Structure 1
Amino acid sequence: MSHAYPLLSAPDHLPRPGNPERAETARADWREHAARADDPETARFAQELEADPAGRALLDAIFGNSPFLTQCILTRPDDLHALVTRGPEPVLRDSLERAAAAAESADQATAMGVLRRERRLTALGVALADMAGLWDLDAVTGALSTFADTAVQAALGYLVRQYGARGDLDLADGADHNGFTVLAMGKLGARELNYSSDIDLIVVYDPERVPYTGKRDVHQFAVKLTRELVRMLEERTAEGFVARADLRLRPDPSAMPVAVPIGTAETYYESLGQNWERAAMIKARPCAGDPRVGRELSQLLRPFVWRTHLDFWAIRDVHSIKRQISAQRGGSTVAVEGHDIKVGRGGIREIEFYAQTQQLIWGGRQRTLRQARTVDALDALARAGLIGRDDADTLIGAYRYLRRLEHRLQMVEDQQTQRLPETPEGIAEIAAFMGHAGAEPFRDELLTCLRTVEDRYAALFEEEPPLAGPGTLVFTGGEPDPETLETLARLGFRDGERVFNVVGGWHRGRYRATRSQRAREILTELVPTLLEALGRTANPDGALAKFDEFLSGLPAGVQLFSMLYANPRLLDLLARIMGAAPNLAEHLSHRPGMLEAVLTPGFFDELPGREELDADLSTRLADARDFQDALDIVRRWANDRKFQVGVHLLQGLVDVDTGGRALTAIAESALAALWPWVHAEFEQQHGTLPGPGMALLAMGKLGGREMTVASDLDLVFVAETTAARDDVSEGGKRPLEPGRYFARLAQRVINAVTAPTAEGRLYDVDMRLRPHGDSGELVSSLDGFVRYQHENAWTWEHMALTRARAVLGDAELCARLDAAIREVLTQPRDPAKLMAEVVTMRRRIEREFPAKSDWDVKYRRGGLVDLEFLAQALQLQHAHAHPGVLAVSTQGAFAAMADAGVLGRERAETLIEAARLMRHVQGMLRLMAGSAFDEANAPAGLMARLAESCGEGDSEALRARLANTAERVHAIFDELVEEPAASVLAADEEAMQ
């Protein structure tokens, strides 16, 4: 056989078979298939080829290394005959002509068949030219790219002609004037297409130029045509497929249709385009469609890609793209087995990005740098003196080597892979395919190449901090990167795809805060650190959702993002708030400026007392123009102060008891500030009544100084006047008799506290502890209140009264009210009957509100209800003889009873510590999980943080401590309440039988 045939001219260049046994089997199959070939000459050619040493070397190189190429030859032995005897170049030139002619096929099946057959011939011809050393990398990638261009143009041309034949398109000006352009991106755009690569495309159309005459909307037609184009290329038939088409590089692929109007594309890139998209657009070029639209699109993209001026943040954003992919899939270290030579360390992506970052920074001012091909870009950068010539030549050599290896990996099975085999046997086979005598020389050569690239790449960015410390975090494109999902899972996120979509939405300017270029550039820097911070919270997914909600309401983002970038500790705090404190997060959503307050001196100092709070609020109210203004100022002030306390609690700067007292002081200051404003506003309309007026009684957590960030206000109104029942108020436009007067005044106070204004609500108010509860009058007279407590109140109402404090109103009236309450609480009681009523109430609560879990510290046996009932019952029992036991807080009550000698000191300390622990657990769970805590679905981080805040190593240790504490409380409750009540309860039960 003539060695003038190009493919047989250098047999020593052909790789040896990596799998000789497979080669031997395939040769037998080859003889059989060749004997049945359409061309009789093919059978003779097969015999001659196998008899020739160079021919056998070629067959072994194919059969022993690539099952895909083997199948191509066995299916169509005539193709190998033509490629060997005529040479790859003329054969593939004829193939391109047949592929282009597919545009004029009679039907779609014929067109698809032609494109698939020519694609397999191209794949075989390019592979053989590569293996035989006839073509260098540029020729290989150029041939692959040219065929892809031709196939896309042919498929689009076929569809356009078919729609023209149906009357949906007016093709009077020719099929090329169709209003569509297909933008080739990535390696196809740069004419560097991989052997088995997807082709990245963006379909753009000009609605004014599409000669559409059909019944659909032109936009719907464009989408339909694009989907048909993709199907013609992708659909697998018995003859294979043409190419996998990826449309995800189009603007905002999760929201944008598959075909993009040119005006929409222009608007997007002008206002929302990101720097990673600029990098992608370096390689973009029209590859098919209407040349007019292609030229117009190229012109409008040019200023987007090539900026004349780049500011600090734009350059950092370009560099941060590198740091986001610095630990890409394929391993965070250089390796051989299983290494991904595209996106792994030292891989192709690093070389490409090395060039692209410098092009983005300098290409706006130096046109010679605007090169699509990576090799050309590196050369141009060296010529411009922006990188060293040695660096450029080294990276060009590495790039050519890795691309050649990439092609060998893909030739094996025609799969889009860049990952090396994971077994020694697999490495030995690919080493043979690369022309090595053994695995070790290949291993040494590859490691040297990868490490060289890694060193050069690292040197380019050596001044930059490692932004993507936790691993791969890439939020470009339309689909999440698998390694990014793995990184997000390691960070603690359960729904990585949702994280990808949320962060991608920020980058695409979905919110006002991220619509400016600078905001998105700073955000790119911030995202990895932000996600790490959110990942450290108890519930990373929930924290991200809260942060996203927070971001969605911001009018702008540059100031906030810059502040967070400059203050990493503030970012940690923000993440903790979003993940652990729903109420604080809600406040920040309404008042993002509070983050600045965190940076002011004094925010983390000791929390102010009542006197300082009153003075601060009084200063703020001096600027109030009217009553409505006062309502807003008080709300803003109180919410900001509550936020400060919440942050102190969250950071562990204060305990729950200190926080409760501080929150109570804030509520009292707010009420005290509104009280005169409400009265003045009310008196303008209704005048005044003679006498002390109205007093406000604080009950519940407000009365006990045990408020939380989310507490409402338990209030009772009591009034006294010297006016007769039928008298009316004086000095107002609409006088009222005393009953209606005080009821409306009280309602005005409630409204001032609860009404939603531009600043939200101040507090919710609960009035159910007033005499007769919900059915009672809104305001009681002092005499009526006292009479009710002596004659009609239930024991549980007296228990609630142990927390009552008169906090607002006439000083004398308040003093008389406190004295009357004290008189009620200090009356003598039958201990057994008292305890029986307490037990009955406790059992009713247990039936109606059974504990949901071990963590339900309020209702569980030995929990907060038992502690509060125990304290209040003992206060009522002993207050007659020892009035000093009437402290308003639970822990204060136990301490007072120990001081009075009615409760053992050791037992009191046990109860105080139990109350402190239970309140802390309750407060932390409400802070971190809200009211819907579910242990089964609680993130491990939440439970760990809860345990840590209680001084325990893990949640099981805390569970055991709670159980032990509750057991001791329950034992004391049994001894001091249940046992004394037993005889009365037994007698009652016997009487009912």
Structure 2
Amino acid sequence: MPRIESSAARLARLGFADAARAARLAAESGLPGDLLEALAAVADPDLALTTLTRLVERDPAVLHARGPTRANLLQVLGASDALGEHLVRHPDQVALLAVPELGEPRAALLLAVGADPHAAEPAASAPDALNALRVAYRGRLAHLAARDLTGQAALAEVMAELSDLAGAALEAGLAIARAELGEAAPVRLAVIGLGKCGARELNYISDVDVVFVAEPHEGADETKALRAATRLAQGMMRACSAATAEGSLWEVDAGLRPEGRSGPLVRTLASHLAYYRRWAKTWEFQALLKARPVAGDLELGAAYVASVDEFVWSAATRDHFVEDVQAMRRRVEAQVRAEGERQLKLGPGGLRDIEFAVQLLQLVHGRLDPLLRRRATLPALAALSRGGYVGRDDAKGLAEAYTFLRRVEHLLQLHRLRRTHLLPTGEDDLRRLGRALGMQADPVGDFTARWKRHAREARRLHEKLFYRPLLQAVARLPESEARLSTSAALARLEALGYADPAGALRHLAALTTGVTRRAAIQRTLLPVMLGWFAGTPDPDAGLLGFRQVSDQLGATPWYLRLLRDETAVAQRMARVLGTSRYATGLLMNAPDAVALLGSDADLAPRPAAALRAEASAAVSRHDHPAKAVTALRALRRRELFRTAVADISGLADIERVGVALSELNDVTIQAALDTAIGQGALPTRLAVIAMGRLGGMESSYASDADVMFVHAPLPGASEREAGDAAFAVANELRRLLALPAPDPPLVIDPDLRPEGRQGPLVRTLASYRAYYARWSSPWESQALLRARFSAGDAALGAEFLAVADGLRYPPAGIGDDAVRDIRRLKARMEAERLPRGADPALHTKLGPGGLSDVEWVAQLLQLRHAGAVPELRTTRTLETLRAARAFELLAPEDEAELAEAWRIASRVRDAIMLIKGRPGDSIPAGARERRLIAQTLGYPPDGSEDFLDDYRRATRRARRVVERVFY
């Protein structure tokens, strides 16, 4: 007794769960110690020991097994209760485990049932043929399982051998059926494997999906031949699935045949093809993707597969093909929801997630790329990766998840040779799985963590690839368009709206020619993007811009991957490139800004505080001022691009665009000012006051930065020293921001200062106060309505604005003389400043009802009433109009018409800059340019006349308000 207790303690350390029982069994059976040590390495030592003691009772010679035989046997006994039972019943088959290779299974199984393997005809009808088939099949299954469990066979090899073994069993079952028929059937019968059997990726226990196709022998009656073929098919199915003393193999499932279970079991090839041409549903073509002849007349089977391939690889062109496949997947998910994540096959992150994603990608892209036409999942996934349809990292993640899940599936099914895909919850079962996968320290915890990690990754990638909108777009393309063929491409490009189809073809050839991964991805993207470009104002410019950006970024790993995987990015990029030369130019010099196109959230203007922090960090990294401002201007370029794309995409209205651009200019001026000041201490405080459109938070893409500089000497500093220092900093600020560079400059314009260009660039606060007290004219008070602190010393800026308030917001308002002066100045400006030859009705700034008209109305209202109405004290035009309406200084309909004219004129000015990449104040006379502006503003391609009508109507109404309110 003490000896058994000592042995039990040792066995517990070796990993036996019931060590006391194991010690007793080992003692009763006389198992040597080294055998017990070997048992400790298997998945379930207790199970292996129990089965081994029973096997030793049947065949004591098993105790003397050594080397590979012992290792193979113990691994099988530790993983599979069912195969252990089989070996106990048939101990002679233990010898099979010592054989390195058993060879092709077809002949062996035919011999087992007494058939001639060369003729595939029965030699005699044997009553025990069914049992013989099962015994021979399970012996080979045990041999394969041993090689699988000991790592001698990789997963792909195991799946292929299981599929070949199933095909051999079907062939043997067919031989048994012929024997039962008792006469030569006047028919050729082919068995087509579908699903995992067809793809040669079968698991240990699975329904074997088949389709039967038959052809009568020459001269035979077709009806009689099909009747005989049906009896053969039924007999074959019974031979494999019938329960016997040796159990059954698996179900043979013919439910995927035309019309399903309600259709005839066997059809001729012509009947199959007629059905697929006329009646087949989307899922049936997906099933045929894996069709392969597996038994019977292989020549007929090959003819069937060759014929249905035509349907498989054109299925994606059917209406709603992608949506149908996606809907079917959702229905399956809904059916297994109760089993949740434990469903290894159908649950979230399960095998079907991976298989459906791979199959959908194959069916969509495989119609044009024959290299994708693979039956098995892992080879198909590798082909998709090589062709650029799936990113390398994504393919690797899916392959690793698939391999792990299939290995787990095999281990689950091996245990009792039952068809199951449900992960167990019991600790003993989880422990067996973990140990079988080599996890010894914490098999339950390690297995659970690894399974969940793979399932999460598989689900993430499934959702990314399976629901990728690009699939729908590619599937809908006509083949001539999808292939980018030269023959019909010129006419097609012209029909799409390309002005220079030959030039477009040259761009396409440059982007897609070659065998590189980059060219492969472009071949997938461009057929779809051509249509997207065609929907933009300027398709030719869009394609050219895409080529230019791709030339710069094509070798960057993330660029094409982003466009392929995130369809929203590619579609928005097409929209931007085909709309705006300005945005394209920004992108050319900052191509990594493509990453901003992914979501609406990424295009939202960033808070000024965040921009200030980033700008400060950017300039602080450089000691040399020019390099610091280069980094600053790169930041500004990226933010200009962000705002332009938000504008083009309709995510920011004209007010928000003006605020975003003005805040960006403030940030730029502040960071450049910090750089200009450098590390030394100034003998004065310095502030930059925004004026004009910058002050009004209404900057456009083409706006200069109208500013004034004010300084206040520090105590103890001489005024001259302070003035010289402030002048030097202001000049350096202007120089740095105007340096030649690929980024748009920010021109600092100080001409609105007192005395204009004749006056000093920088004044002290006291000098401004004295000037305004003595010399100020009405127009300067009017200009100060836009004055706003922009950068530098905020306290000094507030002091300056307090001085300005006294002029721009006089308590009693301006007098009649000042009003007359303002009206005369406005009339003179209208007469003198309009460019020669310009059509006044189409000039957005100075024309009737244009920006100047609306802004002068708002400013006159402020000068007259802001002293008494604090709500009018704003630098923004539309806010002024809204306040004037609220306090009944402006009729609601007048406010609405002025605001509408201001918005449309501002949008047109910005659209001109976006389209041409250079500023313009007049709506162009050319029909093409007007069309581009109209489309950019959201009008249809033929809507340029509607656009002009809307513009004229809005400005005409605004002018009537101006004449009534201003004059």
Name the TM-score class by shorter chain.
0.3 to 0.5
Higher relative contact order, structure no. (Cα contacts within 8 Å, ≥ 6 residues apart): 1
User: Normalization by structure 2: what TM-score?
Assistant: 0.47
